[in-house]
Amino acid sequence: MHPGSRIGSVYLCRQPVDFRKQIDGLAVLVEHELQMNPFGDALFVFVNRARNKIKALYWHRNGFCLWQKRLEKQRFAWPDPASSQVVHTLTLQEFEWLLEGFDLWVNKPHKTLNYQAVS
């Protein structure tokens, strides 16, 4: 992504998209189908049906930027598209892990325990 761009949130579109869509088509998808503001400080990430390509769309100062990555032999881990949620929110760190090939939905940390007393 562009050095100096400020990304506050990362949103994964759960449903695969047609990868013939470019900046305009993806921006319309963000605004109308995801019901979100494409001009904010967010990164919107899309996957193709085969899950071997992702596109990331974001607004930088005076125009949209579109970034794409293609895997040659593997697939990206992705949240379940059958969920009732249209988008899945990630941190930038989680997005980096996704790009590196980690499955964020399988590798979960230990559960947090909240005790009230020792005995």
More confident residue, 104 or 16: 16
Residue 107, in any domain of the structure: no
Asked if the structure places residue 35 within a domain, the reply is yes
Residue 119 lies in a domain: no
63 occurs within a structural domain: yes
Range of the domain at 52: 9-100
The answer to whether residue 106 is domain-embedded is no
Number of domains in the chain: 1
Give the model's pLDDT for residue 23: 97
Q: Measure the CA–CA gap between 62 and 68, rounded to whole angstroms.
A: 20
pLDDT single digits (tens) 22-73? 999 999 999 999 999 999 999 999 999 999 999 999 999 899 999 999 999 9
Domain membership flag for residue 24? yes
Question: Distance of alpha carbon 34 from its chain centroid, rounded?
Answer: 12
Model-level pTM? 0.84
